[in-house]
Every structure is written in structure tokens, then in C-alpha cells.
């Protein structure tokens, strides 16, 4: 067998980098001298490799500039190999894939231009970026380089004060000293989990539940107990109490307001009953309340924290769903676990970026946050109604949808014969992302369900995507 020469081996390596998208059309490749040094080859060997690549039409020489990847109009466009989503064939085998792979595939497809019906994030175009950037600029000029320590736990004092005021306006009187600023609600939940449970402990969650919670529990080595949850009333309290007594549940994670993915809001009476039951058994509850400000009614909802008299509710919240998706500023009120959570925050991530904290604090103090929220709530309520009507119209008979009281997510239950993962794969082929129900549980109870994001304004493109999803679901229906 003929052994490849050094220059041929180098040429093949560079050609592979071009094929994989690491080196793109029009980009300059490392110089002859740099390549010789990096690969420990002679300059003459590198020149021969470059000439071979040039003869193949892969690179081209430009006078006094070097070598560049050549544009090849006959080569079809391709996605970068380093960020390409799974192929439909891979997705068809998705029962063997874990939740993290499915989530990552969904987010990558959205990043590459898919219609974002599967996104967990709100439409960023609806947020006041110009005002936030203005405040960030003012703050950075005013503070300069003297803001070294103020972002250490618990966080910026002015932002903490504004958050305490916001809670007061929403009917919850809090001690500002309890608040700890975090990098989004995800970090807040993770810190609270570490404070109340250990690897091997059993933690109860709603079913279905937000997949990031399942990922966090898996990463921390904790066991998951999925408790039956009514799509209108929330977690079945009697079932949760039975599990606490019989199985030794150490803690629970709950989303009582506009739960992801079901969208329900627990009534005040059920929230009070739930908190009282947990207090009887001395079981802490991590409350994920990130959609609190996105209610559709005339008044804000209550929170579990309002009924807590024993410091057992660890309230977690964020501005990411209502004001600023980019900087991921969240907070927690961890009750009796405050000292542990603050220590864990310092050990895990040291601090939260100071400038976004200050910019948001200035916005809350000086701009029209309530006006912004009123517009956002009105838009989401209208879009929820349009999306629900479209699904009922275009999806096969036997499909039902939830009636979200807030947020921007719709849960769709299709006929049992429709497999969400197969619909997911076919939708991906057509540039449409959806949230397959399999991502929201450890088993297959929700494999005929999908979650849709309606935060983006209704358009001809979105309308066509929902019509296509309905058509695909109909093709998968077994009569």
C-alpha cells in the first residue's frame, strides 16, 4: 500500500477542515511559515501542499495577501459540522437519545433559522433593549472601574432594593436581606437544590415538568419522583403528600404560576393548602416563579412564598422572561436556607456580573416597567388565543390544548397514535422547531404531546408553520 507523502497528508488535513466548515469560504488560512512551524514541516513541504490544494480548487493565492479558501459555486451550502443539529434519521431513533440531546438539537435548529415554536425563550424583540443599553452606558461611565466588590453575594444593593419594592407592589412583603442575586433563575434553582438535598435524595416534581429541572436533578445525582399534575389546577396535593409519607421525599420543585409546559395557575386556596401540607412534614419547596409578571388577568397571582410561615419555600425568579433575556439576572428568597445558598453562590460562581445588575436597577427605578409589562401581557394573551384557535383548526380530530393563564407556552395533546418525536423529526426537515413532549418527563407518558411557543407575533410564516404541523400530525394519525 502506497504511503502518503508529508505534503499530501497536510493537504488532506486542510481540505478536511474546509469540508467541516472550520475554514470557511473567503477566509485566510495560516501562512506558509505559520503552517510550517505548527506542523514542524519544511517550508518547501508546506508550499507543495498549498499548490496541491490550489490545483484542486480548494484554496487560492492572492498577491501580497496569502492563501484563502476559494469560493466554489458548485458546492452546495452546508451547516457547520461543529454545530449541526441531529439529522431527521437520528431523530427518528430518538427514544434512545437523552433529554439533553433533544434540547440541544432544538436550540441549535432555532439558532440556524428554524421557526422557533419549540423555543423555551420569549421573543427578544419585545424587550426594551435600547433603554437597558442606555442605562448600561450611563452606569458604566459613572462607575468606571470602582465596581469591583459590589457584585459579590448577595448582589447589588440597589437592585435588591428594587426587587423588594417589586415584590411589595405584587403583594409580597419581603425582607430585602433575604434576597440573593443569581445568574438567572436556573442558577437560583440549582443553588437551592444543593442547599436542601444531597445526591441520592428523592425530589418530587410536577408531571410534565420543565426539562431543565430534570437535567439539574440528574446532574446532581438526585432521584426524581414525577407526581400527577392536573393541567388546570396543578400538582395533585394528596398524591404529593402520600409520596412524602411513603417514599421519603426530601424536597420538591414546583411552578404554581403559568407552569412550563402546561400553563396553569394554581388557585390561592390550593397554594395555601400545599404550603401548609409541606410545613406539616417539614419538606422544603423550591418555587420557580419566572412567569409571575406575565399574567393575563387584571391582578397579579399570589406565590407560594406568601403563605410560607416556616421558611420552607425557596422562591426563585428572574428578569429573563419579562425584561432582559440576554444578561440572565435572577434572584432567590431562600428562607431558612439563606446562609447555605449564599455560601454556595460564592463557591459555585463567585459573583453575578455587576453592570447588568446596575442597568436593570436603573431601568426599574426610572423607566416604565409596568407600561412595558402591560403591552407584553396584552400581546401574549392575543397570541395565545390565535395559536390555540389555529391548533384546534389545523390539527387532527382528537387534539386538545391547554388554556394558559399567563406566560407564552401552549401544551398540545394529540391523538395517542401521533408520536411527538416523529412529528419533531418531520418538522425539523421543514425548518420548524417544536418541543416534543418526551423532553418533559423521564418516561413516555407525554410522547403524544408537544409544547409550542407563541411569544413571537403571529405572521404568515408562523401561520404556515402551524398549518404544516397540523398536516404532519394528521399524516401520523392512525384511524
271 and 302 both lie in a single domain:
yes
Q: Does residue 338 share a domain with residue 442? A: no
pLDDT at position 81 is: 40
337 and 228 in a common domain? yes
Nearest to 179 by CA among 157, 149, 196, 150: 157
Residues 417 and 423: their CA atoms lie apart, in Å, by: 11
Dist CA 149 CA 147 (whole Å)? 6
| pLDDT computed for residue 92 by the predictor | 52
Shared domain for 296 and 380, answered yes or no, is no
Other beta carbons less than 10 A from residue 24's beta carbon? 10
Assigned domain for 425 exists: yes
The number of residues making up the chain comes to 479
Q: Is 316 in contact with 279 (CB distance < 8 Å)?
A: no
Q: What are 252's strand-pairing partners? A: 204, 285
Tell me: do 298 and 153 sit in the same domain.
yes
Query: Is 82 a member of any domain?
Result: no
100 shares its domain with 38:
no
Predicted confidence at residue 75, as pLDDT, reads: 52
* Cβ atoms of 277 and 237 closer than 8 Å: yes
- pLDDT, residue 460, reads 96
Residue 137 lies in a domain: no
Same domain, 470 and 411: yes
In a domain, 135, yes or no: no
CATH number of the CATH domain containing 415: 3.90.1150.10
Count: domains in the chain: 3
Which residue, of 367, 391, 420, is where some domain finishes? Answer: 367
DSSP run (H or E) holding 62: strand 59-62
Residue 421 domain-assigned?
yes
Residues 206 and 268 in one domain: yes
Is the domain of 228 the same as that of 290?
Answer: yes
All residue ranges of the chain with pLDDT < 70 are 1-3, 73-98, 144-150, 479
In a shared domain, residues 209 and 261: yes
Give strand pairing partners of 316: 288, 332
CATH code, domain carrying 278: 3.40.640.10
**Domain's final residue, options 367, 396, 427:** 367
For residue 206, the cross-strand partners are: 227
Secondary structure of residue 267 in the 3-state scheme = coil
CA distance 41 to 33: 9
Residues 407 and 299 reside in one and the same domain = no
DSSP H helical ranges for 85-236: 88-92, 99-111, 129-143, 157-169, 184-196, 211-219
**Which of the listed residues 69, 98, 117 is the one where a domain comes to its end?**
69
Q: Which domain holds residue 54?
A: 6-69
The x, y and z cell numbers of residue 346, run together, are: 460564592
pLDDT, position 87: 56
Assigned C-alpha cell, 272: 395555601
Cα–Cα distances in angstroms (integers) from residue 97 to residues 92, 104, 356, in the given order:
10, 11, 37
Are both 362 and 378 inside the same structural domain?
Answer: no
Q: What is the CATH number of the domain that holds 47?
A: 1.10.10.10
Residue 139 lies in a domain: no
Using an 8 Å Cβ cutoff, are 447 and 375 in contact?
no
> How would you list the strands of the sheet with 409-413, edge to edge?
400-401, 409-413, 449-453, 435-436
pTM: 0.83
**Is 296 a domain residue?**
yes
In a domain, 406, yes or no: yes
Amino acid at each position: 500500500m502506497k504511503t502518503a507523502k508529508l505534503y499530501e497528508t497536510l493537504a488532506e488535513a486542510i481540505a478536511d477542515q474546509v469540508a467541516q466548515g472550520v475554514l470557511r469560504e473567503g477566509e485566510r488560512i495560516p501562512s506558509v511559515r505559520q503552517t510550517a512551524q505548527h506542523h514542524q514541516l519544511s517550508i518547501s513541504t508546506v508550499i507543495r501542499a498549498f499548490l496541491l490544494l490550489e490545483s484542486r480548487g480548494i484554496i487560492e493565492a492572492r498577491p501580497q495577501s496569502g492563501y484563502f479558501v476559494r469560493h466554489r459555486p458548485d458546492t452546495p451550502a452546508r451547516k457547520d459540522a461543529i454545530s449541526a443539529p441531529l439529522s431527521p434519521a437520528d431523530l427518528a431513533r430518538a427514544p434512545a437519545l437523552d433529554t439533553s440531546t433533544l434540547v440541544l438539537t432544538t436550540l441549535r435548529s432555532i439558532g440556524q433559522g428554524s421557526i422557533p415554536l419549540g423555543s423555551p425563550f420569549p421573543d427578544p424583540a419585545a424587550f426594551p433593549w435600547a433603554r437597558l443599553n442606555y442605562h448600561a452606558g450611563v452606569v458604566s461611565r459613572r462607575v468606571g472601574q470602582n465596581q469591583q466588590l459590589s457584585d459579590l453575594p448577595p448582589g447589588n444593593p440597589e437592585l435588591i432594593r428594587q426587587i423588594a419594592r417589586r415584590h411589595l407592589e405584587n403583594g409580597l412583603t419581603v425582607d430585602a436581606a433575604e434576597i440573593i442575586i443569581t445568574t438567572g433563575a436556573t442558577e437560583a434553582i440549582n443553588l437551592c437544590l444543593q442547599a436542601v438535598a444531597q445526591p441520592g435524595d428523592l425530589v418530587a416534581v410536577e408531571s410534565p415538568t420543565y426539562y431543565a429541572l430534570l437535567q439539574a436533578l440528574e446532574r446532581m445525582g438526585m432521584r426524581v419522583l414525577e407526581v400527577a399534575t392536573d393541567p388546570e389546577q396543578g400538582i395533585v396535593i394528596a398524591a404529593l403528600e402520600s409520596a412524602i409519607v411513603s417514599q421519603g421525599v426530601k424536597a420538591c420543585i414546583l411552578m404554581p404560576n403559568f407552569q412550563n409546559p402546561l400553563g396553569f395557575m394554581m388557585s390561592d386556596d390550593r397554594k395555601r393548602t400545599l404550603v401548609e401540607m409541606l410545613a406539616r412534614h417539614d419538606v422544603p419547596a423550591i418555587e420557580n416563579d419566572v412567569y409571575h409578571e406575565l399574567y393575563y388577568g387584571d391582578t397579579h397571582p399570589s406565590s407560594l412564598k406568601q403563605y410560607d410561615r416556616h421558611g420552607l419555600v425557596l422562591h426563585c425568579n428572574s428578569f429573563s422572561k419579562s425584561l432582559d433575556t440576554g444578561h440572565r439576572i435572577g434572584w432567590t428568597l431562600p428562607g431558612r436556607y439563606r446562609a447555605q445558598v449564599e455560601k454556595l453562590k460564592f463557591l459555585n460562581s463567585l459573583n453575578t456580573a455587576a453592570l447588568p445588575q446596575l442597568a436593570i436597577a436603573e431601568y426599574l427605578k426610572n423607566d416604565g416597567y409596568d407600561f412595558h409589562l402591560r403591552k407584553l401581557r396584552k400581546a401574549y394573551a392575543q397570541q395565545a388565543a390565535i395559536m390555540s384557535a389555529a391548533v384546534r383548526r389545523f390539527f387532527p380530530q382528537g387534539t386538545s390544548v391547554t388554556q394558559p393563564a399567563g406566560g407564552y407556552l401552549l401544551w398540545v395533546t394529540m391523538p395517542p397514535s401521533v408520536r411527538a418525536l416523529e412529528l419533531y423529526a418531520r418538522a425539523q426537515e421543514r425548518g420548524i422547531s417544536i418541543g416534543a413532549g418526551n423532553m418533559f418527563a423521564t418516561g413516555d407518558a407525554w410522547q403524544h404531546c408537544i409544547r409550542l411557543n407563541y411569544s413571537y407575533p403571529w405572521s404568515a410564516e408562523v401561520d404556515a408553520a402551524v398549518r404544516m404541523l397540523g398536516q404532519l400530525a394528521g399524516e401520523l394519525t392512525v384511524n
